[in-house]
Amino acid sequence: MLTQKFLNAFISLLVIANPLGVATVFVGLMSHCTASEIRAVATKAAGVAFGVLLFFAFFGEPLLRELGIRLPSFHVAGGILLFTIAFRMIFGDARFGGASADQNTYADRSDIAVFPLAIPLIAGPGCMTVMILLMSRTDGVVEEGSIVLALALVMGLTFVCLLAARNLLRVVGVSGNVIISRIMGMLLAARSVQFIVDGLRDMHGLFFS
């Protein structure tokens, strides 16, 4: 059960964070930077994204309660949001591996590590949503720790992809990036439907118990 929780969290976060897709944007943003500058920006971007998602993991659900939003409703809404992201991944949105990304849009900003890299490219609405959904279904500190570990591993992989972005994209190529994006989109679509089904089932239990 614990292994299943960890794998579920790891795969869900990996698919949504899409380190390779972020790497394609990163290459354009850092095209004229030195190796030390690339490492500094990659480190800060991964660190900020990890901190933001950790906040949503532990304080997202209490925040929803304060706003009067029940978890089953958030499960359905979150599932719909994730499905729209999956749809865009499958049909070639530039943010998720398409070939037409405008990589110079943010090139003139003074701190691209926080925006747009950490937020919203790495820790976007999809990752924030899935962290709340995953943590809402944990039972005890051990399961919560497994999800935090999964998050840390995904952020670590993202950091590595950013550092090796130029070489990585040279190996994978444009076509490989598109294929990976489509496969990840299909996995995310299936996971988002499961979130919706779980939310609707819990709603039924609330209203008809």
* Residue 83: C-alpha distances to residues 86, 136, 168, 180, 187 (Å): 5, 19, 28, 17, 10
Q: What is the mean pLDDT of residues 46-74?
A: 91
Query: Would you place residue 99 in the very low, low, confident or very high pLDDT band (cuts 50, 70, 90)?
Result: very low
Q: What is the mean pLDDT of residues 11-39?
A: 85
Give the containing element (helix H, strand E) for 183.
helix 165-208
Give the containing element (helix H, strand E) for 193.
helix 165-208
Comparing 76 with 147, the larger pLDDT belongs to 147
CA nearest to 131, candidates 203, 208, 50, 186: 50
Q: Where are the domains of the chain?
A: 2-208
Q: Model pTM? A: 0.74
Residue 94 has pLDDT above 60, yes or no: no
CA nearest to 122, candidates 10, 209, 46, 57: 46
Q: Is 24:180 a contact under the CB 8 Å cutoff?
A: no
The single-letter DSSP state of residue 107 is T
The single-letter DSSP state of residue 115 is I
Between 55-69, 156-170, 193-207, the lowest mean confidence (pLDDT) is in 193-207
CA-CA distance, 102 to 131, in Å (whole number)?
Answer: 28
Q: What is the mean pLDDT of residues 104-113?
A: 56
Q: Is 44:113 a contact under the CB 8 Å cutoff?
A: yes
CA nearest to 187, candidates 3, 8, 1: 8
One-letter identity of residue 165: A
Q: What pLDDT score was predicted for residue 81? A: 82
